Structure 1
């Protein structure tokens, strides 16, 4: 067999904040169900089908603990099943007005319901475990509620990570050795916390490695490997200015048929107003998928060829994306993924997981990483900038209250566990991101404030010895934030 020109790793990061019981439309559970129906179902169905063909090491999939909890939650399972049924009914109801679109959507909703009934009735974990055990993918974990690690106190950071790793172990049957660091956020020294938790590999953005992403790199003397996202390859898809999803023939995400909620238009042009969008044409979209998949395979092969010339041996390129891009934001994304995963090996490119890349020896010399993220400016401004200074200050108070509520010698206490859960939810990186990007900023501020208020009220009651009042307060929450049943606040103690 001819030696591959190099190795390609696809990494998908699946994450949504805790949305269950926190609103429905326009923000809340609807966001979860749309992503579930249009991204998680088709992407995992694709992996399942390729695995049935005997294909292995297809991709590396991160599922954050807070998302995994929702994908296994009975309330959310009932909710998404109802959402899928409503999708079918909306398509049926639109048949008289927009027959072609309604027929396509009816078929898509029917197929999604069949996949859900076959693979998802008991939640995501059995499916993920099956695919992982079969070697079709590598699963990544992460800190419990996706907090921005560089802004956490060391004890809180370690607690959030351990809670997330324990959760993944409970759901998947084994403790993942890799994580997706939330927002690819890094501060010098975090690698030692990773090593102490048994984490062996994590993701950073390409600029953190000064663009030299051709090999995984040990961080200092920790033995923990950093994989860098190759922006030259990743931005072929991800770039808002020139990425494939903005192509004129793909379905437009923002244009709706308002009576049905279905999407009838193609992008048409980046500056074309909504009312001038042309009707979606599946044949044109299919041709665009084939064209752009072929272009991506060409770009990957050329990139790996250049890497091989530069370092004198086959190297690595890592393309990393949010899973929600594929199917939710970019309707044709799952079909594009399938074309790429089928075609890359035919083009002489080895496709594997991050673990597979390590096993193949694609590891370079140790490196010192700077403070970094994958956000704007590749620094911390999105989560620590002036627009979110009040959120950062509130999160510091939340951490102080959390650390002050747990003292040595305590038995396990459900009230302190509830306080710790609310604190982790308040520390989610999503709230600052949504404010900085002005994306449902009001919802984000309300959520951050609600969780932080619960922390402060409960900490105050416990600190004053008012346990009965604290019990009534937690009971009044109605269990809407019962995310991690195994969470033990005593894990904050040294």
Structure 2
């Protein structure tokens, strides 16, 4: 596929010490010692070529479907997001190109599964076997004797967040909403499946266990802060400083919506 094109940055070859990457793929099957230097100037043209191929491939699939069935179809293209920018360094630039070009193409309409299903309600039911990409296609990697304790913490925090967010989500006090939103961010970070995976595989077990403990502690500190502030109690200056610090450190999902976290 496109990440394996000769011009792109090679993921595996790194300079020691430091871990910097200076080499291009050159050839996917080439020995690491024979990789050639990476030249950024060669990349834009290759990105244009690959993006153009992808857009035209999508158009051809849609045309063939319409010719065969007499109605418009949809191309579902799910990807593991870490492909873009991590495994494939130039991937973000590639996906930016295809999205812009598809948006400007009269033959293609960009959408998502929710909008498509609202406009085209399903008329069949498909039963899918439960499974995962983990060992033996099961959930064992994430739920076993080594990381069962993580789930007890997660379930505890989920229950707390449902109650307090349902209680205060419509508050007109911006400070209370700030606390709740950061609490929700800490919950999402606590729920990251990476931690259980790293614990089970021993890839970075200490780090993963520390992150679980950290986000659990942050969540509960914010929960206590929201409980006090929401009920009119005094919140110490140090807690407001903590909120500002943690907002700067764990600043994912700036436009986070509280509604999905509230108990229905």
TM-score normalised per structure 2: 0.59
Higher relative contact order (CA 8 A, sep 6+): 1
Q: CA deviation at 1:396?
A: 0.3
Instruction: Sort the Cα spacing of 1:271 and 1:397 in 2 relative to 1 into closer, same or farther, 3 A.
Output: farther
Partner of 1:427, secondary structure, is: helix
> Which of 168, 182, 185 lines up with 1:421 in the alignment?
182
Match of 2:76 among 293, 308, 318: 318
More displaced 10-residue stretch of structure 1: 298-307 or 284-293: 284-293
SS in 1 for 2:186: helix
Whole-angstrom distance in 1 between the partners of 2:222 and 2:97: 52
Alignment correspondent of 2:246? 481
The residue that corresponds to 1:354 in the other structure is 111
Instruction: Please say which structure displays the higher CA radius of gyration.
Output: 2
Cα deviation, residue 272, structure 1: 5.0
Q: Which residues of structure 1 form unaligned runs of 5+?
A: 1-242
Instruction: Indicate the structure with greater strand content.
Output: 1
Distance between the aligned counterparts of 1:318 and 1:485, measured in 2? Answer: 26
Aligned to 1:46: none
1:433 aligns with 2:194: yes
Equivalent position of 1:453 in the other structure: 217
Deviation of 1:395 after TM superposition, in Å, equals 0.6
Matched, 1:398 2:157: yes
How many residue pairs were aligned?
244
The structural deviation recorded for 1:299 is 3.5
Partners in 1 of 2:64 and 2:190 — Cα distance?
A: 36
Q: In 1, Cα distance between the equivalents of 2:103 and 2:158? A: 48
Range with bigger deviation, 392-401 or 257-266:
257-266
User: Does the 8 A contact of 2:186 with 2:218 survive in 1?
Assistant: no
In the TM superposition, what is the alpha-carbon distance from 1:245 to its structure 2 partner? Answer: 0.7
C-alpha contact (below 8 Å) 2:7/2:43 kept by paired residues:
yes
Structure 1 residue 265 corresponds to structure 2 residue 23: yes
1:33-82 deviations in Å (ceiling 9; x for gaps): xxxxxxxxxxxxxxxxxxxxxxxxxxxxxxxxxxxxxxxxxxxxxxxxxx
Q: 1:107-153 CA deviation, whole Å, 9 max, x = no partner?
A: xxxxxxxxxxxxxxxxxxxxxxxxxxxxxxxxxxxxxxxxxxxxxxx
For residues 365 and 478 of structure 1, do their structure 2 counterparts lie closer, same or farther at Cα, with a shift above 3 Å needed?
closer
Q: Determine the C-alpha separation between the residues in 2 that align with 1:279 and 1:431.
A: 36
**Aligned-partner Cα distance in 2 for 1:477–1:270:** 48
Q: Which runs of 5+ in 2 are unaligned?
A: none
**CA distance in structure 2 between the partners assigned to 1:486 and 1:286 by the alignment:** 34
TM-score (normalised: structure 1): 0.36
Q: Is the 8 A contact 2:47 2:94 kept in 1?
A: yes
**How far 1:277 sits from its partner (Å)?**
2.6
